[in-house]
Structure 1
Amino acid sequence: MEPTESHELTDFATWRTLIQLVNTWEPRLSEWKASVGRGVIGGFVMTPDDGYLDLMRACEPVKHALRKADRDSVDFAVRIADDGRVSITLAAESTTHQIVRVPGINSAGTLLLVPDRDPAPARQKPAFFSDVRTAPSADPELLEDVLRERMPGAVGASADELADLEERIGRPLPDELRAVLRVTKADYGTDWNLENKETEALGGICLFGLHGIESASNADVRKGLPFDVLVGVAAVTNLDSAVQGLVDPPDWVVIGDLGGGSGDWVALDLAPGPAGHIGQLVVISHEAEIGAELLAESFTDLVVHGNAKEATEDACTSPPAVVRLVAGSNMTIEAAATTALEVLTIGRSDAPTDLTPLVGLPRLRTLRAAPGTIAAPHVIGELDQLEYLEIGLAEWKTLLEADAVPSSLLAASVYGYGLPRADVDHVFDELIRHCGGAPLTTQMIVGKLTA
């Protein structure tokens, strides 16, 4: 996606309220840096304890300009002269390549080398196993009878409402969900006691109601996860997995919140793993970037029999697919270098790591390595399946000078926090030019604090 520039974003009037607010807090502060995103801000270390709401209001014109420019965020540096003149330097941009800078995630940002291409975990489609069936415990009639006893007077959905819901989500409703919705459509209004009673009756699930039921691919489950976050997990489904290792498949039908307000969403799984059941209940954790935990093999088993499953180890963030090498760990590069390896992070180590054992691995697509941890950076050029690379400034310099940047890369970043912006931009500019793109350019906005 080519970044588009908004006139409002380069208009000093858009920034005036924000600059004046910070200047009021710290009148002697002549230079500072920060970031503003559509949903998050960062770098405002001078914010007083009671000033957060004022800061959010002052950032609103910038957020509005970002939305009009179809941009997620903007990094900027401010300099205020003695005479009150202000210069705002926006972070460098290219007309052909996007740099995603999300405050609080990665200080360097992520350079997207291939537009509109998702990380591998987000591209993974559900598999369907022919021998997987509905759980023996699933009993829609019993489920409906029990819920009517527990929730006398509850108002359920009509046949027309259920038909409208099916049309909206683009698939027939599972029988157990249909049974639940015939009893209650979660129309609580402001009656929190009713909501609590129904949550208890539904085995801890706070039903969203008809308007909130949606497939995970269309719901706001994991939308907007940064590229550099998703590349750190693997879409793993083992033979003994009840739930597939996926990000937000259309076959997870989100129906409610676990416990009410937890942020962990409950879904009916219509594409279970080899060891699962069609229509099982899963929990999509707000703290996990991929996968879901099995809650119950069926709605009936949870609500009628009270059988909830215990959490299991997440194969999507664990060896052999995802490995972290750090000083003092028992794992070696030789042990990590299996055909199952997808994501490798090399943290601070006692000695530089030889990457030669990684050459030829069929699934290795993400490599993160702290500065000084790689013995011979040019070996990276032989990792022909690599999609994401995050290494130190010196390692990038070596790789670029050796013309050894893997042609398979979709995105890149610079490892570390608090890095000099000019040095990071130099690496990004070299990578963009390497791809035949337009060089980075910066924009300066000038104005005065006083009208």
Structure 2
Amino acid sequence: MSSIHEFTTWEPLLRLLHAQHTERLAAPGGHVSGQISRGGWSVPLRRKPRTPGRASLIEDMQDEYDAVERVRTALADSGLTGISFVTEVSPAGRAVLHLLEPGPAVEPGIGGPHPGSVLLVEDAVAEPWRRLPDPVDGVLPDPAADPAVLERTLRERLPEAIGATEEEIAATEERLGLALPEELRALYRVTRARWEDWDGDHDRAEQVYDAVGCELLPLDRLHVADASSRPCGWRFAAMEAVVTPPDAAVQGVVGSPGWIVFGDSGGGDRLAVDLTPGPRGHTGQIILLSHEENIGADLLAASLTDLVLHGESGEEGGRRRREQPAVAHVNASGVRSVRAAAHPELEVLSIGVWEGEPVSLAPVVGLPRLRTLSAYPGTLADPLEIAKLTGLEYLRLGPEDWRVLLDAGAVPRSLLAAGIEVQGDRHPLPVADLADELLALRDRPRITRTTVESGL
């Protein structure tokens, strides 16, 4: 048995939880739960007040840190990325620990023990991640794009730079499977941006940043920003929609085989040459892919020449628009009714906190593009109306609504993934049972459970 399943691995953490939640655990059905992964953890422990005037330190939570690190070490040893736990402790001090491993068909939950989206079809991705840029006729490079001027300017700014050879550029093109645009070739003929070429001199690296306008990637780290380079869980990915208005400079896709990433903003945003622009864009324009966005990009400059000579243009013509009709949020502060959201182009319908009577889905039955429905618990008048939405790929509901669909055998066959919306302090084990029922419909791998117990 892996050490992650041994009670001694968890005992220090369980003692801390028991000390802080004695009354809660002693109550009928009392439990405490949380989630631990290699990258972080979420456990219900109160920490000491922070000393005013300074940041929190590990010393402020040393007992918690040591107990969690014991579990994280066992996670790494077992090859797991994360695990959820539920503990129940009797008044006599007998502890029962339930461990839940999501497995390959369940995405990790966010900030708690409950499962994320369950994947009903192996390797399926949300519709925006399957979209390629639309062909656009008549787009041309910006008239001011000039590889010769670009190269001459960069040589003046970086007289000591070591440029890439034609063989190195050709090797990069072969690796990427496409020819680099002339401006990009001119850039790397001046500097290949390798750290070893600067002999550890940060000033020389800063000179390149100033000369180009970004943290330039080495030639061997150039890559294509296709959709797979922007991974996103179903809970968020299914709520996106690809929208490219007629006046857009940049297409509103997740990624493109024509987005060649060559730089970084210094804050985690990627800069790319865009070879598949929108209707009002230019071939070879420079775009920024924000690390805070799942989809779309912003226009920075009309060309690489423009970026180097004039800097960022400051335009924001590329990021997709979130308004109707493709995506509608029906809630107390958004769209006021399902009928108002109904539109032939509607793809994503989210029904959130609602102050009125539960709503009917009748107005959106038969819409040709509706693929995502997310409904806050208690907002649907009749969950069985979902069976009439024949094109759904993703469905997120509360446990009670899922129960209605499961008992009626009415879970849509079209679903690729599903989410369970959990509100409040619900016991994680029944929610895991529900997730397993959904997975069983498609014979997908279930959540792995291990129960261990001992005295504290």
SS in 2 for 1:367: strand
Change (3 A) 1:333 1:154: same
CA distance in 1, matches of 2:82, 2:372: 24
| Local SS of the residue matching 1:345 | strand
Please give the alpha-carbon distance, in whole angstroms, between the structure 2 residues aligned to 1:335 and 1:313.
Answer: 27
**1:367-446 mapped onto 2 (5 Å cutoff):** 367-417=373-423, 418-435=425-442, 442-446=449-453
User: What residue is the counterpart of 1:286 in the other structure?
Assistant: 291
- Residue 232 of structure 1 corresponds to 239
Preserved CA contact (<8 Å) 1:126 1:244: yes
| Residue 108 of structure 2: aligned partner | 101
Q: CA 1:145 to 1:381, structure 2 compared with 1: closer, same or farther past 3 Å? A: same
DSSP-derived class of the 2:174 partner: helix
Deviation at 1:240, TM superposition (A): 2.2
Tell me the equivalent position of 2:218. Answer: 209
Within 5 A, what are the aligned runs for 1:287-306? 287-306=292-311
Q: Distance in 2 between matches of 1:130 and 1:212?
A: 31
Matches within 5 A, 1:255-266: 255-258=262-265, 260=266, 262-266=267-271
Number of aligned positions between the proteins: 431
- Mapped to 1, the partners of 2:207 and 2:392 lie a distance apart of 51
Pair 1:193–1:84, CA change in 2 (3 A): farther
Structure 2 counterparts to residues 17-56 of structure 1, below 5 A: 19-20=11-12, 23=15, 32-43=32-43, 45-46=45-46, 49-51=56-58, 54=65
How far did 1:299 drift?
0.5
In 1, Cα distance between equivalents of 2:305 and 2:318: 25
CA displacement, residues 350-407 of structure 1 (integer Å, 9 cap, x when unaligned): 2222110111111111111111111221111111111111112222222223322111
Instruction: Give the aligned partner of residue 199 of structure 1.
Output: 209
Distance 1:209 1:278, change over 3 A: same
Q: Which one is further off, 349-358 or 397-406?
A: 397-406
1:112 counterpart (106, 119, 124): 119
Question: The residue matched to 1:426 in structure 2 has which SS?
Answer: helix
Distance 1:78 1:279, change over 3 A: same
The separation in 2 between residues aligned to 1:117 and 1:134, in whole angstroms, is 36
Alignment match, 1:3: none
- Relative to structure 1, the CA distance from residue 215 to residue 330 in structure 2 (aligned partners, 3 Å threshold; closer, same or farther) is closer
The alpha-carbon deviation at position 319 of structure 1 amounts to 1.7
Partner Cα distance (1:330, 1:246) in 2: 25
- 1:209-261 Cα offsets, whole Å, 9 max, x none, are 22321112498x523x2121111111222322222222233321111111x2x
Within the alignment, does 1:58 sit opposite 2:70 as a pair? yes
Instruction: State the TM-score, normalizing by the size of structure 2.
Output: 0.84
Residue 151 to residue 416, structure 1, CA distance change in 2 (3 Å):
same
Cα distance in 1 for residues equivalent to 2:271 and 2:204: 20
Distance of 1:356 and 1:75 partners within structure 2:
38
Counterpart position of 2:52: none
Report the more deviating stretch, 433-442 or 379-388. Answer: 433-442
Find the counterpart in structure 2 of residue 338 from structure 1: 343
Q: Which residue of 1 aligns with 2:99?
A: 90
Aligned equivalents of 2:14, 2:182: Cα separation in 1: 57
1:22–1:46 CA contact under 8 A, matched in 2: no
Q: Does the C-alpha gap of structure 1 residues 217 and 307 become closer, same or farther in structure 2, counting only changes over 3 Å?
A: closer
- One-letter code of the match for 1:213? L
Q: Describe the shift of the 1:287–1:107 C-alpha distance in structure 2 as closer, same or farther (beyond 3 A).
A: farther
Pairwise mapping of residues 157-168 of structure 1 onto structure 2 (< 5 A)? 157-168=164-175
Aligned with 1:351 (options 343, 353, 357)? 357
Give the aligned CA root-mean-square deviation in angstroms: 3.1
**Residues 169 and 22 of structure 1: CA distance in aligned 2, closer, same or farther (over 3 Å):** farther
- Asked if 1:12 corresponds to 2:16, the answer is no
Q: Higher mean Cα deviation, 367-376 or 186-195? A: 186-195
Alpha-carbon distance in structure 2 between the residues aligned to 1:222 and 1:428: 26
1:132 Cα deviation (Å)?
A: 2.1
In 2, distance between residues paired with 1:438 and 1:305? 54
Instruction: Tell whether the 8 Å contact from 1:242 to 1:273 is kept in structure 2 after alignment.
Output: yes
Deviation of the 1:296 alpha carbon: 1.2
User: Which TM-score applies when normalising by structure 1?
Assistant: 0.85
User: How far does residue 47 in structure 1 lie from its aligned partner after superposition?
Assistant: 5.7
After superposition, give the CA deviation of every residue in 1:324-369 in whole Å (9 maximum; x if it has no partner). Answer: 1111445432221111111111111122221101111111111111
| CA distance 1:106–1:444, shift in 2 (3 Å) | closer
